Amino acid sequence: MFKLLSPNIGKVSLLIAILSWLALLFVDITRIFGMLNQIESGVAPEVSYILQVAFFIMVYLFFNYSITRNERNEFLNLIWRGASTGLLALAISLLIRGFYGLLGDSTLANDPLMRNFFYHVNFALISLFLISCTLLWKRLILYQKSKKVVQQWQAFEILLLVSMFFVFFNQNTLDYSFIFGLVFITVFSISLSINLKWIPYLTFKEKWKSILFFSIILVSASYLFIQVLSYSDVEQIPVNLTDNLLLIGLFIFVFIYSLFSFLVTLFNLPTSSVFEQKLIEAINFQRLSQSIKPGENENQVLDILIDSSMSASYADAGWLEILDDEDNLSVLQFRFIEKNTLKELKDILVQSTAYPQDATQKREDDSKSVQIKINHNTYKSALVTALYINQKLMGRLVLVKEVKDGFNKEMVNIISTFVGQACISVENYRLLNEAIKNERYKEELEIAQRVQESLLPDKLHHDESFEISAFSAAADEVGGDYYETKQLDEHRFALIIGDVSGKGTSAAFNMSQMKGVFHSLVQTHPKPKDFIVLANNALGQCLEKNHFITTSYYVLDTVNKTIAYSRAGHCPTLFYKHHTQEADYLSIDGMGLGILRNHLYENYVHEKTFHFDTGDVLVLITDGIVEAKDNRGEEFGYERLRKVVQQHAGLNSQQIQDIIIKEVYKFIGKNTIADDDYSLMVVKFK
Amino acid sequence: MLKIENIDQNDHIVLQLKGEIDASNSVDLDAAIQEMLNKGAKKILVDCAQLEYISSAGLGVFMSYLEEFQEKDVQIVIFGLLEKVHQVFVILGLDKLITIKTTQQDALEAML
């Protein structure tokens, strides 16, 4: 039931207000009829008072509803509503007076019924004006409200409510209690009227308008008040509705608040441009601090920077120099200045001692702005502010004015802040871009890593006469070490280990070429020397001039128990003889692939064959193992490796491998070899 | 850390290498050799007495100039190699293509 009513509260309150007003009119007319015909109408004045209270409450509800509902509650709009209502009440009141003036002393002029009707019209309009203004002022007072102000306002509303019923006690006579009530309301009104926080937010133009509106309200209120006072003595009015404490109290409140607002707005006029300027600065600052969105570029920030700096300092002209790739300052933006004038000014500035001469040098002092006097026909002072990004000069903002010493401390401060903020924005933008780029590189590197991992075999070929295990680790994301096996026929196996010069991605590329060469050549079952020579021919065609690959190539024959091998500049292989319980490096001459790229190369390649037996161990390594350094810079070395293998040759291949890695790590004192790739392959004969 | 010094003597240049040559500074060595070739040097002695380490990238620099040395008839002799560094040259087989001597005197005599 209640829910049905709530959306129509405005209409319902309006309707009841009109009805109560009509009832008031009717009751009074009844009274006048009674008076005229000397009949006691028997209507007590309390009936009128009750109707009046009902009327007030309904009007209050109606305006409360309509003002709250109105979306466009800008200050000026609110004040205009008050002013227009006042104007309407004033105009109708004047019309009625004019009408009576025209009638003169005719009988119609003295007709009590008509006079009574117009009295009610005036009463209604005054009530509308005062109540609507009160509610409008409420919004102004409660702008940027604090708890204290809200409580104060609520107390004021209760006071008004009480004063509405006051009429039942004193029958609208001017006694001490009435005056006491008025004083109370006046004090309250004054204390509420100091809440004028909305005024600074008006622009200069809006302030002028609001001054106009307030004067309308003040004039209307004054006139209507005098009008109300004049009714007090009129005898044709049976029940005086206007000498009500509430109405008089509202008069006082509306008048005082309007007067305060009027005066404060008036005195605020001269400083309003300062406040507006500060507001613009705050907005500019916010624009500068918003990071540049993707797709935009730094120039937008610099654009805002020069515009906001110029408006903050009232500069007559200005420009922005930005350091280009060759460390030269070039003018990126300029405002209100001709190019040749700009050049003249620049020449003058450069000659000034205060001007920071070295473009790339960072000045020691904190303040990054310098004010310089200039001797130019038009311009007399300049403010030079350096833009720094990451402690590095990025550019310079120059503002010039036609007056001497045109830049005061506040301007310098605000411009320094603007410049600082713009630099942060640009820096953030650059960092973001870099981060995106790095992210992309990282992804590509991860792809390279995956590809490279697939280049190393997951399966090592062998038969039951030997076991084999291998290990590889890269210093960077991708490495240049390579090993692989291939079963040539039933009892012959090819083994290769290699190391590509350099590190990282370029090494990884060359390694993949090596793998291609291996898989091509191995199909022809070449002898080790032939393999090396052919590989040199092939790789000589595609390796960069300063790149080479070292490799060792082995062919194991498990029936004849022989190993044939060649070495191309690769670090020597360790061979443990079970028979003698000794390990030694296989010595054979050889030259790295790609070092000599012509037919002479084969002169430097050799091939050897030797026998192996059960219990023998072959350890193939890359130089990362022997060159691993401890914290004193000492290398792990060939000798240490030899001893480790000799000591643990009785274990199986996997165990030997694990022990070698463990010993290397123990030697260097950590779990990685930071600056080289390292690999090893262990073959144990059964 | 690598320090490179050029010492001009009568008919030859001594290129003194101190410290370590790795991937990061091998370009400096490359630039130094290139500069000597541009100046028209015909006899180059490389003093490696204080060279503590050379990585594959450093060796690659020497290797990449072998052809050019031959074409331009430039003689290059390395001397004073520490045993450890000498081993690196030997293992790679570079000692077969570049003359390596123990002392500066030997190196000078090796040049015709």
- Residue A568: list chain B partners with CB under 8 A: 93
With both helix axes pointing from N to C terminus, report the angle between A245-268 and A112-141 in degrees, rounded to the nearest 10.
50
Q: Does the distance separating the beta carbons of A596 and B92 come in below 8 Å?
A: no
Rounded to the nearest 5 percent, the helix, strand and coil shares of chain A are: 55, 15, 30
Tokens 């509106």 correspond to what residue? A213
Right CATH for A456-685 from 2.60.120.200, 3.40.50.150, 2.40.10.10, 3.60.40.10 = 3.60.40.10
Given a cut of 50, is residue A366 above it in pLDDT?
no
What stretch of H or E contains A205? helix A204-231
Single-letter code of the amino acid located at A660: I
Residue in chain B lying closest to A540 (CA): B64
Any idea which residue has 């165990």 for tokens? Answer: A655
Give every CB contact of residue A217 below 8 A, 6+ residues apart in sequence: A79, A82, A83, A86, A133, A254, A258
Give the containing element (helix H, strand E) for A617: strand A617-621
Do B63 and A548 lie within an 8 Å CB cutoff? yes
Residues of A in contact with B96 (CB under 8 A): 589, 591, 604
* pLDDT score for A3: 52
* ipTM of this predicted structure: 0.91
Substitution target from A506, A595, A606, A676 for chain B, most B beta carbons within 10 A: A595
CA atoms within 13 A on the CB side of A499: 31
Q: What is the pTM of this model?
A: 0.55
3-state secondary structure of A486: strand
- Which amino acid, residue B64? S
Using a CB-CB cut-off of 8 Å, the residues of chain A touching B22 are 675
User: What is the SS3 assignment for A301?
Assistant: helix
- Name the closest residue on chain B to residue A587, using Cα atoms: B91
Q: Dihedral sign, CA of A83, A89, A95, A100?
A: negative
Domain count, chain B: 1
Contact A569 B64 (CB under 8 A): no
Contacts of A597 (CB under 8 A, 6+ apart): A536, A540
Taking the CA of residue A648 and the nearest CA in chain B, the distance in Å comes to 26
Q: Across the interface, which of B56, B93, B94 has its CB nearest the CB of A502?
A: B56
Give the C-alpha distances (Å, rounded to integers) separating A512 from A457, A481, A523, A624, A668. 12, 10, 17, 19, 30
Q: Quick one: pLDDT at residue A307? A: 87
**Nearest to residue A372, comparing CAs of A391, A396, A393?**
A396
Mean pLDDT of A22-34: 87
Strand, coil or helix: A388: strand
Burial class (CB within 10 angstroms; exposed 0-12, middle 13-18, buried 19+) of A646: middle
Stated length of chain A: 686
Q: Which conformational region is residue A457 in: left (phi greater than 0), alpha (psi within -120 to 50 degrees), or beta? A: beta
A230 φ, ψ (degrees, to nearest 5): -65, -25
Task: Note whether B91 contacts A570, CB cutoff 8 Å.
Answer: yes
CB-CB neighbors (< 8 A) of B64 in chain A: 545-546
Question: How close is the nearest chain B Cα to the Cα of A547, in Å?
Answer: 6
A544-565 residues labelled b (16+ CB within 10 A) or e (exposed): eebbbbbbbbbbbbbeebebbb
- Quick one: which of B89, B93, B79 has its CA closest to B14? B79
| DSSP per-residue string spanning A142-184 | TTT--HHHHHHHHHHHHHHHHHHHTHHHHTT---HHHHHHHHH
Q: Which of A478, A546, A552, A593 to mutate to test the interface with B (most CBs of B within 10 A)?
A: A546
| Distance in angstroms (rounded) separating the CA atoms of residues A466 and A458 | 18
- The answer to whether the Cβ–Cβ distance between B66 and A635 falls below 8 Å is no
Beta-sheet pairing, B99-101 with B75-79: parallel
DSSP string across A625-652: HHT-B-TTS-B-HHHHHHHHHHHHTTS-
Residue A481 structure tokens: 């070490």
Interface A-B, measured as beta-carbon pairs within 8 A, has a size of 60
3-state secondary structure A106-151: CCHHHCHHHHHHHHHHHHHHHHHHHHHHHHHHHHHHCCCCCHHHHH
**B93 vs A501, A502, A590: nearest CB:** A590
Query: Would you kindly state where each structural domain of chain A is located, as residue ranges?
Result: 73-270, 275-433, 456-685
Yes or no: say if A479 and A472 are a contact pair by the CB < 8 Å rule: yes
Q: What topology does CATH give the domain A275-433?
A: Beta-Lactamase (3.30.450)
Kind and range of the H or E run holding A294:
none
Contact A591 B96 (CB under 8 A): yes
Contact B6, B15 (CB under 8 A): yes
Cβ contact B57–A502 (<8 Å): yes
> Is B60 in contact with A501 (Cβ distance < 8 A)?
yes
Domain residues for the domain of B13 are 2-110
The two tokens of residue A573 are 């292989």
- C-beta separation of A496 from A482 below 8 A: yes
Task: State pLDDT tens for residues A129-165.
Answer: 999 999 999 988 988 888 999 999 999 999 999 888 8
Q: Which residue has the higher pLDDT, A447 or A593?
A: A593
* CA of A442 vs chain B CAs: smallest distance (Å): 21
Partner-chain contact B92 A591, CB within 8 Å: yes
Question: Is there a contact between A484 and A498 (Cβ–Cβ < 8 Å)?
Answer: no
Query: What distance in Å separates the CA atoms of residue A288 and residue A303, rounded to the nearest whole number?
Result: 10
Q: Are strands A369-373 and A381-389 parallel, antiparallel or unpaired?
A: antiparallel
Inter-residue contact A255 to A82 (CB < 8 Å): no
Q: Among the listed ranges A124-133, A355-364, B10-19, which one has the minimum average pLDDT value? A: A355-364
pLDDT (tens digit per residue) in A233-285 = 766 677 777 778 888 899 999 999 999 999 999 998 888 888 888 888 888 88
Say whether B102 sits in a helix, a strand or coil: coil
Contact of A360 with A328, CB cutoff 8 Å:
no
Contacts with A570 from chain B: Cβ below 8 Å: 91
Q: Each residue of B8-65: pLDDT tens digit?
A: 887 888 999 999 998 888 889 999 999 888 888 888 999 999 999 898 889 999 999 9
The least confident of A419-433, A614-628, A647-661 is: A419-433
Among chain A, residues having any CB pair with chain B shorter than 8 Å are 499, 501-503, 545-548, 550, 568-572, 589-592, 594-596, 604, 635, 675
A518-541 pLDDT, tens digit per residue, is 999 999 999 999 999 999 999 999
Name the minimum distance, in Å, from the CA of B10 to any CA of chain A.
31
Instruction: Quote the CA–CA distance of A148 and A144 in Å, as a whole number.
Output: 12
How many other C-beta atoms are found inside a 10 Å radius of the C-beta of residue A347?
10
* In the predicted structure, residue A229 carries a pLDDT above the cut 90: no
Instruction: Name the strands in the sheet holding A617-621, side by side, starting at the edge strand that comes first in the sequence.
Output: A466-473, A678-685, A617-621, A574-577, A582-585
Q: Is A682 helix (H, G, I), strand (E, B) or coil?
A: strand
Residue A292: what pLDDT?
A: 66
Q: Nearest by CB to A546, which of B22, B63, B96?
A: B63
pLDDT category, B91, cuts 50, 70, 90?
A: very high
Q: Which residues of A touch B23 (CB under 8 A)?
A: 502-503
Backbone φ and ψ for A367, nearest 5 degrees, come out as: -70, 125
CA A361 from centroid of its chain's CA atoms:
31
Contact A546 B60 (CB under 8 A): yes
Residues of A in contact with B59 (CB under 8 A): 501, 548
pLDDT confidence bin for A1, thresholds 50/70/90: very low
Residue A216 scores a pLDDT above 80: yes
Q: Decide if pLDDT at A443 tops 70.
A: yes
Separation between Cα atoms, residue A122 and residue A20, nearest integer Å: 15
Q: Is A431 left (phi over 0), alpha (psi -120 to 50) or beta?
A: alpha
- Cα–Cα distances (Å) from A361 to A324, A358, A395, in that order, read 15, 5, 12
pLDDT tens, A272-322? 888 888 888 888 888 777 766 666 678 888 888 888 888 888 888 999 888
Q: Check whether A212 has a pLDDT greater than 60.
A: yes
pLDDT, average across residues A433-440: 88
pLDDT, chain A, mean: 86
Total Cβ atoms within 10 A of residue B26: 23
Contact assignment for B60 to A503 by CB distance below 8 Å: no
Please name the residue of chain A whose CA is at the shortest distance from the CA of residue B85. Answer: A627
Q: What percentage of chain A reaches a pLDDT higher than 70?
A: 93
Closest CA to A500 of A280, A636, A677, A259: A677
Closest CB to A569: pick one of B23, B64, B92: B92
Q: List b or e across A358-385, with b for residues whose CB sees 16 or more CB atoms inside 10 angstroms.
A: eeeeeeeeeebbbbbebebeebbbbbbb
CA–CA dist A122, A234 (Å, integer): 14
Phi-psi region of B41 (alpha: psi -120 to 50; beta: other; left: phi over 0): beta
- For A389, residues 6+ apart whose C-beta sits below 8 A from its C-beta are A423, A426, A427, A430
Contacts of A549 (CB under 8 A, 6+ apart): A498, A499, A500, A501, A510, A511, A514, A539, A543, A568, A592, A593, A594
What single-letter DSSP state applies at residue A479?
-
What residues contact B106, with CB distance under 8 A and at least 6 apart? B79
Return the CATH number at B23.
3.30.750.24
Residue A360 in this model has a pLDDT that exceeds 60: no
Specify whether the CB–CB gap between A385 and A397 falls below 8 A: yes
Interchain CB distance below 8 Å, A546 and B97: no
Give the closest of A501, A545, A589 to B93, CB-based. A589
SS3 A260: helix
Put simply, the answer to whether B56 touches A548 (Cβ < 8 Å) is yes
From chain B, pick out residues whose CB is under 8 angstroms from the CB of A675: 22
Q: Given this model, what pLDDT does residue A45 score?
A: 78
* Residue A200 banded pLDDT, cuts 50, 70, 90: confident
